[in-house]
Chains A and B, each alone.
Chain A
Amino acid sequence: MLRFLTKNPWFYEQLGRLCELAYQASQIACQASRNFRELSDLSARLEDLEAGADELTGQFIRKVDETFVTPMDKEDLETLCLSIDGIIEALRGTVLRMQLYKLSQPHPQMGELADLLVQTVGPLKEMVGCLGDGRSKRSRAIELGKIVHAHEKQADLVFRKAIADLLNQETAQPLTVVKWKEIYECMEEAIDRANFSGLHIDRLVLKYA
């Protein structure tokens, strides 16, 4: 009932910026999964982006710790911020592995998984925007949450198929299989974190509506 007294747009703006960085990171990872020639350049861009996200997350956590009147419980704000930051971290890990393992060409299903990653991360920014508007945008947030979850489920199928194809290739080099499996798992983790962020926003929209 007293939410009008606890409103503070700074928190939502900052989370929105972090979501924007996560979206940019997913686009870079998507490019990287198809274009191995520019891997080092893309990896450097992602590193800069991750540094920016870390800075933003640090500011956010400090502000939450210092502020007495916050728009949501301290734990809710921190969990959301860290889960969005976790997406960028997982993507940085994915692209870094592609670069370090010196793979010669992309794996067939990697591009498809990367497209689903972009689609899963995409709605998060709008979902965070719904948090500050309470009841009025509740249904929109739930709708976007469903989209995020549907893409994650689809990504799960692609991931399983990719791993199966990888392991069933009898002529493949064992080391290459291990490298790709690890990269796929990293990408899958990034998608899972995006899904977790979506579920968390959904829960918060219901909790604070």
Chain B
Amino acid sequence: MPEPQITPILVLVIGFALIFDVTNGFHDAGNAVAAAIGTRVLTPGVAILMAAVMDFTGALLSTNVARTISSGLIQTSSVAQTVVLSAVLGAICWNLITWYFGIPSSSTHALIGGLVGAAMAAGDWAGILWNGLVFKVLIPMLTSPFIGAVLGLAVLAAFLICFRWMTRRQANAFFPRLQVLTAAVMALAHGMSDAQKSMGLITMALIVAGFIAPQAGQAAEIPLWVIVACAAAIGLGTAMGGRRIIKTMGNRIFRMEPVHGTAAQIAGAATIMTMAHLAMPVSTTHVITGGIFGVGMGKRARAVRWHVAGQMFLAWMLTVPGAGAVAAIVYAAIRLAGLK
């Protein structure tokens, strides 16, 4: 057990983890309310403000995913602080690159890719907890978009059956109101899932620095100040950006009406909240995209612009290796700079 001390690199890790949360906010959180903006139920300004508040609230509600990130992917006993720093820097760079080009890739994938890439660059292959990586991260990541799509389809079918009696005017009044509510729940789910990734990173850095000593075989408790700081950072990030990617998510997949947006959001929120409860860090981007595709297929398979789906799929495939490579380069640069 190392003597707890505040080192410059620990400060850097915490600082960059919070910056990562901010980039996650303006990169990902817009997706939570993209459907509501795409259907013009909410203006971008109001939607993003609401998302920021709900994201902050959601981040305070659960720490299950943070525990997985902090203790379930890499052995904290062997990992160096520089690996954590490289992971977070690699993920930030990747998020900024994809944000600049308007590609809705996943911040979660970027972070996991960054962690694994930096650990590999450090030669710490044994420190990677492959079991946790596969069952808690990779499998949920791969399956969650499909779960989102199937749920989206099912929710739309339920709407068509249950609200068939409505007139168009009644539906046009009802669904936009419901969509505001579901967009809020979606943003809450985003906070519950995504803010915790930085919480997990900071907690990991605190464990490595000796400030937290998790009991053997148990995940570390997340300090309250970490929870509040990460919640504030993701809320701030959400308020700062998001519009660039909303354009892709909101209307490029297919032209949505409020009933479709509502169905996609319910599917997305339900999937993310369930996964967060199971301590599985899934990507909000993937899940909401899956939901939108599911609803689009329900409306009409030809209404879905499959080439956009292809571009997104390519971006997703590139994220883990891309962020991992960037993290490895950052690790090499840090070593060259002589930081330990």
Contacts and interface: CB of A to CB of B under 8 A. Distances in A.
B171 A68 contact: yes
Contacts of B168: 65-68, 74
B289 to A, nearest CB: 18
A6 interface: yes
A36 interface: no
11 contacts: A2-B153, A2-B298, A3-B300, A5-B157, A6-B160, A65-B168, A65-B169, A66-B169, A68-B168, A68-B171, A207-B302
Interface of B: 153, 156-157, 160-161, 163-164, 166-171, 297-302
Contacts of A67: 167-168
B160 A2 contact: yes
B300 A68 contact: no
A74 B163 CA distance: 17
A69 B160 CA distance: 7
Given A1-B298, A207-B302, A68 B157 contact: no
B161 to A, nearest CB: 6
Of A3, A5, A67, the most chain B CB neighbours within 10 A belong to A5
Contacts of A68: 163-164, 166-168, 170-171
Given A207-B302, A208-B300, A2 B156 contact: yes
B81 to A, nearest CB: 51
A193 to B, nearest CB: 26
Nearest to A206: B302
Interface residues of A, number: 13
Given A2-B157, A3-B300, 14 more contacts: A1-B153, A2-B298, A5-B160, A5-B161, A65-B169, A66-B168, A66-B169, A68-B163, A68-B167, A68-B170, A68-B171, A69-B160, A69-B163, A207-B300
Interface in A1-44: 1-3, 5-6
Contacts of B171: 68
Tell me if A's interface is mostly helix, strand, loop or mixed: helix
Nearest to A5: B160
B244 to A, nearest CB: 29
* Chief secondary structure at chain B's binding surface: helix
Interface string A64-85: 0111110000100000000000
Nearest to A6: B160
A65 B301 CA distance: 24
Nearest to B295: A2
Given A68-B164, A69-B160, A207-B302, A1 B297 contact: yes
B126 to A, nearest CB: 47
Interface in A58-103: 65-69, 74
A6 B164 CA distance: 9
A4 to B, nearest CB: 10
B84 to A, nearest CB: 45
Nearest to B294: A1
A3 B297 CA distance: 10
Contacts of A5: 157, 160-161
Nearest to B297: A1
A169 to B, nearest CB: 52
A65 B172 CA distance: 11
A10 to B, nearest CB: 13
Contacts of A6: 160
Contacts of A3: 300
Nearest to B255: A73
A10 B153 CA distance: 26
